[in-house]
Amino acid sequence: MSKRRIKVLIVDDSALVRQVLTQLLDGIADIEVIAAAPDPIFAMAKMNKEWPDVITLDVEMPRMDGITFLKQIMSTRPTPVLICSSLTEKGAATTLQALQAGAAGIFTKPQLGVKDFLHASKQQFADAIREAAKANLKNLHALPTAKQHIAITPENPPLAAMAKTTEKVIAIGTSTGGTLALEFVLSQLNPVSEGIVIVQHMPEKFTAAFAERLNSICDIEVREARHGDRIRPGLALIAPGGQHLSITRNGAYYQAVVKPGPAVNRHCPSVDVLFRSVAKVAGANAIGIIMTGMGDDGARGLLEMQQAGARTYAQDEASCVVFGMPKEAIKRGAADQIVPLSQVPGIIMKYSSS
């Protein structure tokens, strides 16, 4: 008996995009395009006849914008939604709103040469649909809200501790579901937390907007990493989309290394690139945390961190939106502990005070 195909609804005001995506996906064995609509009003009529497993959604459309449509879906019948957004500053800000509203992922498209781009990105787009189809939307919407502070033990150390020279680093890797998970974790921390380096799979331009949003709601400073940044207490650095983030040692402290490079495990930035550098440079003076996301990026790097003496953690299945990345790390024996998302801030603060 053949495996059930993923039913996809395409919602995009561009006739070209609808045509090209339908043709591309119709050639993929495990995916079936059940309909294509030029706007959410037409989409709702089609959904009343047959409900999709995944919706690909443009955010800027006539009659009803994609964010409004997304919120309606999530409030009535939560369904995985893959946002297809233009790779622009405006597109990045709007797409972050979509992720906040419950979108499972992002797939970017250029403003020019879209047909050639989509043909070249066929496999990536299909993988994004498969990833969205596996999303546990219950966990996505059950995440605690930012600033809903949890009890952290031991007691947070006094601010005077910031004066000490740090030789510790906290490395975090995540993908699908990670934007809201990171918002929860980082918003619980205070400025004495050790320096944090993060890879969240996102396209360029999107990571800057994401970091700005986190910075606006967190007590610690959060920003996109720049080459040569010192990793220090009270600062979280997010790898820029399209560039790898790693670390190096400069005397008594660590510095960020940001540079372009080929995709690793299909990703740039890659969690493995970051984790492997932390294993090599920081060793036992680090902790590694792998969180929600599809695929296996970061699993090998977390194992290398563990072998170098770092403490390692994987988010548990019950709290993940997609369990892929933590699952692969656990299968390799790379995680010292498997923990729910709710415990991650406490782990970071306890490590920072030790």
Beta-bridged to residue 56, according to DSSP, are 10, 82
Identify the residue whose tokens are 């890879």.
199
What distance in Å separates the CA atoms of residue 87 and residue 108, rounded to the nearest whole number?
6
Is 267 one of the catalytic residues?
no
Per-residue pLDDT of the chain (354 residues; tens, 9 = 90+): 457 899 999 999 989 889 988 988 988 999 999 999 999 999 999 999 999 999 999 888 878 888 899 999 999 999 999 988 775 566 678 888 888 888 888 888 777 787 888 888 888 889 889 988 988 888 876 665 545 444 444 333 333 333 333 579 999 999 989 999 999 999 999 999 999 999 999 988 889 999 999 999 999 999 999 999 999 999 999 999 999 999 999 988 999 999 999 999 989 999 999 999 999 999 999 999 999 998 899 999 999 999 999 999 999 999 999 999 999 999 999 999 999 999 999 999 999 988
CA dihedral (175, 177, 180, 184) in degrees, to 10, reads: -80
At 15, the amino acid letter reads A
Name the burial class of residue 262, with classes exposed (0-12), middle (13-18) and buried (19+) by CB atoms within 10 angstroms of its CB: exposed
- Is 119 assigned a catalytic role? no
Tokens (6 digits) for 88: 């622009």
The CATH-assigned architecture of domain 6-133 is: 3-Layer(aba) Sandwich (3.40)
Residues forming CATH 3.40.50.180 domain(s) in the chain: 159-353
Whether 297 is catalytic is: yes
pTM here is: 0.88
Identify the CA nearest to 198 among candidates 157, 238, 158. Answer: 238
Give the up-direction half-sphere exposure of residue 182: CA atoms within 13 A in the CB hemisphere: 32
Catalytic residue among 175, 246, 277, 352: 175
Q: Which fold has domain 159-353?
A: Rossmann fold (3.40.50)
Query: Which of these is catalytic: 297, 316, 319, 352?
Result: 297
Beta bridge partners of residue 311, listed in sequence order = 287
Question: What would you report as the CA-atom Rg of the chain, rounded to the nearest whole angstrom?
Answer: 20
On whether the CB atoms of residues 287 and 351 are closer than 8 A, the answer is yes
CATH 3.40.50.2300 in the chain, residue ranges: 6-133
Residues in CB range of 171: below 8 A, 6 or more apart? 196, 197, 198, 274, 275, 278, 286, 287, 288, 289, 305
Out of 201, 272, 296, 319, pick the active-site residue: 201
- E-only strand ranges, 243-310: 244-250, 253-259, 286-290
What are the tens digits of pLDDT across the range 97-117?
888 888 888 888 777 787 888
For residues 69 and 57, the answer to whether their CB atoms sit within 8 Å is: yes
CA distance 171 to 265: 18
Residue 85, beta-bridge partner list: 108
**Which tokens in the block code for residue 212?**
């700005």
Q: Return the SS3 of 343.
A: helix
